Chains A and B, each alone.
Chain A
């Protein structure tokens, strides 16, 4: 007996709702982690530019930890490890407020920040020193020159690798299912185990992941075009 491919079974009624909730959760998790990653990435970059060696080592340690420890382990550390260190009221608060989502966002965001910091750093390196000098010559201090002149240009140059990181972050949100975040992969497993339509369920998930990934890539190509800088 041949396998009959039939999407109707997984795309109707409550199963469709589960997929939609999964997509919404995946997107929310991506957004939350992304904001944290960008903020932390910029902070790490700025810290690294302060000419104090111990600070540089700290950032290097941060980057190496997040790049060399499996992301799933990092998520477990945040979900199982960190709360056990917290005082009881904090633990209760986390449990009462979708702690798994919050902690997954933190784990994903901090890991992504390590890569983003590297991307921004190479963007900064590609800005000629003369730009910094010109800003200083007008009377800007170090922070002003970095903030108004160097970083805005470096961020534009960093757009393609940052889009890449965004894509990776988006796909890595699927790991959050391991701690029970009801994102797309988690919901897909649910649909699959209720309907026994294994192939259809994952076909739908695959199509959704692909569609959103292409969306992110298109956004990247568009902003890359718009932000392109010409001669100084």
Chain B
């Protein structure tokens, strides 16, 4: 479904991605972990060309996304992206955030779009907040609205860029529940996250990144339970806050 082939990305003289390769199959959930600055976010941002790459290829459904034939706006409708900082549109209500793409890009009527939007909000447990403005919602609720906004476009893949990192601890759970439901429903997902409990539960594979490269990859049980690279074990200790991993 998504394939990275020797992807290189430079920010000026700093190499953010160094020959990253890998594949994400349909219905698979990959979790990207690693220290900050290791290229995790940059890697998933290349999938929808939020970041241009300087070497290698990124393929979605076997089509090179850098190709001139690709309509990037159509591709982005098929690949949902959830940001760390939610990035809801503050001038629109929760439902307005969701219906904007439906009415303006899909040409749906207002009533139909609202119905669809309400269904998506119900899916993330926020049907009753439809008409609230983003400023009136908690961080966890905002992130769930952002997920619903992506889902409304019927994506075939969902990319999550540290979706819980900006949240207060008590709100992390509600967002992870939504993500787990999505995974269980068979959604193809790439998640950048430090939530190792989530990774253990839903990831088909964990990619451990450092300095722009995938240093280690494997099943969560293998990687987390001390078989992995010493750098990975060191990293896991720093994000575990004790107890989370070896539950």
Contact = CB atoms under 8 A, between A and B. Distances in A.
B91 interface: yes
B100 interface: yes
Contacts of B50: 133, 136-137
A141 interface: yes
B155 to A, nearest CB: 10
A137 B101 CA distance: 10
A131 interface: yes
Interface stretch (B18-26, B78-86, B204-212): B78-86
Contact of A138 (B85, B90, B150): B150
Most buried by B among A133, A144, A149, A231: A231
Contacts, number: 73
Interface string A89-132: 00000000000000000000000000000000000000000110
Interface string A218-232: 000000000001111
B87 A232 contact: yes
Contact of B87 (A130, A139, A141, A144): A130
A214 interface: no
A201 B134 CA distance: 53
A148 B104 CA distance: 9
Contacts of A148: 100, 104
A215 interface: no
A232 B85 contact: yes
Contacts of A229: 90-91, 135
A134 interface: yes
Given A130-B85, A230-B134, A232-B85, A138 B76 contact: yes
Contacts of A130: 83, 85, 87
A149 B100 CA distance: 9
A156 to B, nearest CB: 7
B160 to A, nearest CB: 12
A144 B104 contact: yes
A209 interface: no
Contact of A134 (B87, B105, B133): B87
A2 B116 CA distance: 78
Interface residues of B, number: 28
A119 to B, nearest CB: 18
Nearest to B75: A139
A134 B134 contact: no
A139 B74 contact: yes
B198 interface: no
Given A139-B153, A144-B104, A134 B90 contact: no
B74 A231 contact: no
Contacts of B142: 231
Contacts of A141: 73
A136 B81 CA distance: 10
A188 interface: no
Interface in A131-170: 131, 133-141, 144, 148-149, 152-153, 156
A136 B136 CA distance: 24
A131 B87 contact: yes
A222 B73 CA distance: 38
A232 B134 contact: yes
Interface string B107-130: 000000000000000000000000
Given A136-B76, A138-B77, A232-B134, A131 B89 contact: yes
B3 interface: no
B153 A138 contact: yes
Most buried by A among B50, B76, B80, B153: B76
B48 interface: yes
B88 interface: yes
Given A138-B77, A138-B105, A139-B76, A133 B134 contact: no
A153 B96 CA distance: 14
A232 B100 CA distance: 16
B55 to A, nearest CB: 23
Given A137-B83, A139-B101, 5 more contacts: A135-B89, A138-B100, A139-B76, A149-B89, A229-B91
Interface of B: 48, 50, 73-74, 76-77, 80-81, 83, 85-91, 100-101, 104-105, 133-136, 142, 149-150, 153
Interface of A: 130-131, 133-141, 144, 148-149, 152-153, 156, 229-232
5 contacts: A130-B83, A138-B105, A139-B77, A139-B105, A152-B91
